[in-house]
Amino acid sequence: MTSTPLELLRKYSVAGPRYTSYPTAPYFHPGFNEADWAEALTAPAPDRGLSLYAHIPFCDSLCHYCGCNMVATQDYSKTQPYLATLDREMARTAALVDSTRVVRQLHWGGGTPTYLNPDDIRRLMAMMRRHFSVAPDAEISCEADPRELTRAHLVALRESGFNRLSFGVQDMDPAVQQAVNRIQSGALIQQVIDWSRELGFSSINLDLIVGLPKQTVESFSRTLDQVTVWAPDRLAVFAYAHVPWMKKHQKLINEADLPDSATRLALQQAVNESLGAAGYVNIGLDHFARPDDELVRAQQNKTLWRNFQGYTTHKDCDILAFGASSISQTADVYMQNEKTLKRYQERVAATGFAVERGLKLTRDDQIQRDAITRVMCDLELDFAAFGHEWGIAFTDYFSDALAELRPLAEDGLVDIGAGKIDVTPTGRLFLRNIGMCFDRYLKEPAGTQPRYSRTA
Ligand code: SF4
């Protein structure tokens, strides 16, 4: 008998990774040190471009759902030693990286990067350009909080070369905004979008969250209607991850106000229907884009990739990430910086680096990462092509994974053919569960496993 979507959701709502990295961050270890990181930076990588990330951890106030590494403060003076530390960290890094390598992508995240005042926005971007060579056509993006944003901030970003913006909208319903301590009117968001378009930013992304307290299908449908009128180029609709054991401030959320699994499913269906009707393509997991967007084209061309910033078209770039808690990534290494402001600043002052932990991937890690990425990005996996690329007999190497996928095939989430796996339209809601079948680390004994958020 065919399961209903709600039955599937209940069955497959298990704790599991989001696969913005593989192996996942809990497997990064403190044995990975500065010498390892220096070695990774100096390794020749003539065909790989650079993707720079700067983490600005400051926020004016605390949103109760926040899952980011951030510091809520009204004391702007804290930004000054932080910017000086970023400068030093970039100088130490740039000295080790082949100077002919070009930056193809640059992103500021947080916290709230636009916590920085316009002068400091210009200063930080000038700093990054001093240390690295940024391609004239680089994709340069910044996350922005509409609440504290002025036109002067946007002018500073545009004049510094930014061409993409991402605004946190989350939910427009007043009761939900009250419950999560993030009040922002539709007029405010309309204003920042109008300014952005007038200043010539070429792409605007809006972030929404499903699963927030007091959310109903009716209220969120109004948010979706409003959002489609704003007509962003991309939308990211994240599922709220309630992990109060990791993010203590999430205890400020009344769990009784969180939508139940039936409502979460209905919310997800409302998102898919509303954004689909408005002409957006679901890239997978939580990302939507207009049909002519390069993310959609990359998916069609099978060049889409997943990293710590979500879906990206820049598969062949090493990510050099600066700032507290930021995660860098080369072809076979992950490295995470110290998470607290204090430790980050102390470590960089001492050596120029703030390596807290990291991981060098084995060849098996790389093969499994590629398989997980292919199903989550291409929504299909061709056994012969994949086997040829990695020099493996796919069905032998992944015999466990194929066995684990069989029940998912019976539930209609994937089609397993003689030489190929295809994710079905229903399976798109369960990409994390499909990826988990290829994850060898999840086969380790219970009790040694990290704790993840739920997949659905
Ligand atoms: S603005 Fe963003 S980073 Fe800051 S508290 Fe809110 S959700 Fe977290």
Same domain membership, residue 419 and residue 339: no
Q: Is 63 in the pocket of ligand 1 (CB under 6 A)?
A: yes
Q: What angle do CA 184, 188, 192 make, to 5 degrees?
A: 125
When divided into structural domains, the chain yields a total of: 2
pLDDT on residue 446: 59
By alpha-carbon position, which residue is closest to atom 7 of ligand 1?
66
Q: What is the pLDDT of residues 102-153, one digit of tens each?
A: 999 999 999 999 999 999 999 999 999 999 999 999 999 999 999 989 999 9
Same domain membership, residue 209 and residue 176: yes
Same domain membership, residue 320 and residue 436: no
Atom of ligand 1 lying closest to residue 182 CA = 6
By alpha-carbon position, which residue is closest to atom 8 of ligand 1?
66
pLDDT at 291 over 70: yes
By alpha-carbon position, which residue is closest to atom 6 of ligand 1?
63
Indicate the residue among 337, 360, 383 that finishes a domain: 360
pLDDT at 334 over 70: yes
pLDDT on residue 286: 83
Same domain membership, residue 74 and residue 99: yes
pLDDT at 203 over 80: yes
Gap from CA of 229 to ligand 1 centroid (Å):
25
In a domain, 135, yes or no: yes
In a domain, 34, yes or no: yes
Same domain membership, residue 321 and residue 373: no
Atom of ligand 1 lying closest to residue 168 CA = 2
Q: Give residue 95's region: left, alpha or beta (phi > 0; psi -120 to 50).
A: alpha
Same domain membership, residue 367 and residue 356: no
In a domain, 415, yes or no: yes
CATH number of the domain encompassing residue 434: 1.10.10.920
Cβ–Cβ under 8 Å, residues 300 and 49: no
Q: Is 62 in the pocket of ligand 1 (CB under 6 A)?
A: yes
In a domain, 272, yes or no: yes
How high is the mean pLDDT of the chain? 93
Atom of ligand 1 lying closest to residue 170 CA = 7
Q: Is 111 in the pocket of ligand 1 (CB under 6 A)?
A: yes
Distance of CA 77 to the CA centre of its chain: 29
Same domain membership, residue 203 and residue 293: yes
Rounded to an integer, the average pLDDT of 273-301 is: 91
pLDDT on residue 449: 62
Q: What's the domain range around 391?
A: 363-443
pLDDT on residue 445: 63
Q: What is the pLDDT of residues 53-74, one digit of tens each?
A: 999 999 999 999 998 999 999 9
Mutate-to-test residue for ligand 1 from 66, 167, 208, 249, highest number of ligand atoms within 8 A of CB? 66
HSE at residue 437, side-chain half, CA atoms within 13 A, is 25
Indicate the residue among 360, 376, 411 that finishes a domain: 360
The pLDDT-based confidence of 5 (bands split at 50, 70, 90) is confident
Q: Is 110 in the pocket of ligand 1 (CB under 6 A)?
A: yes
376-392 burial, b at 16+ Cβ within 10 Å, e below that, comes to bbbbebbbeebbeeeeb
Gap from CA of 383 to ligand 1 centroid (Å):
42
Same domain membership, residue 367 and residue 355: no
Same domain membership, residue 225 and residue 125: yes
Q: What is the pLDDT of residues 364-409, one digit of tens each?
A: 999 999 999 999 999 999 999 999 999 999 999 999 999 999 999 9
**Separation of alpha carbons 259 and 273, rounded Å:** 19
Mutate-to-test residue for ligand 1 from 56, 60, 145, highest number of ligand atoms within 8 A of CB? 145
The stretches of 15-150 forming alpha helices (DSSP H) are 34-42, 79-94, 118-131
By alpha-carbon position, which residue is closest to atom 3 of ligand 1?
111
Q: What is the pLDDT of residues 225-248, one digit of tens each?
A: 999 999 999 999 998 989 899 899
In a domain, 147, yes or no: yes
pTM across the whole model? 0.93
Gap from CA of 60 to ligand 1 centroid (Å):
9
CATH number of the domain encompassing residue 145: 3.20.20.70
The pLDDT-based confidence of 18 (bands split at 50, 70, 90) is confident
Structure letter (DSSP) for residue 122: H
pLDDT on residue 160: 98
Q: Exposed/middle/buried for 315, CB within 10 Å: 0-12, 13-18, 19+?
A: middle
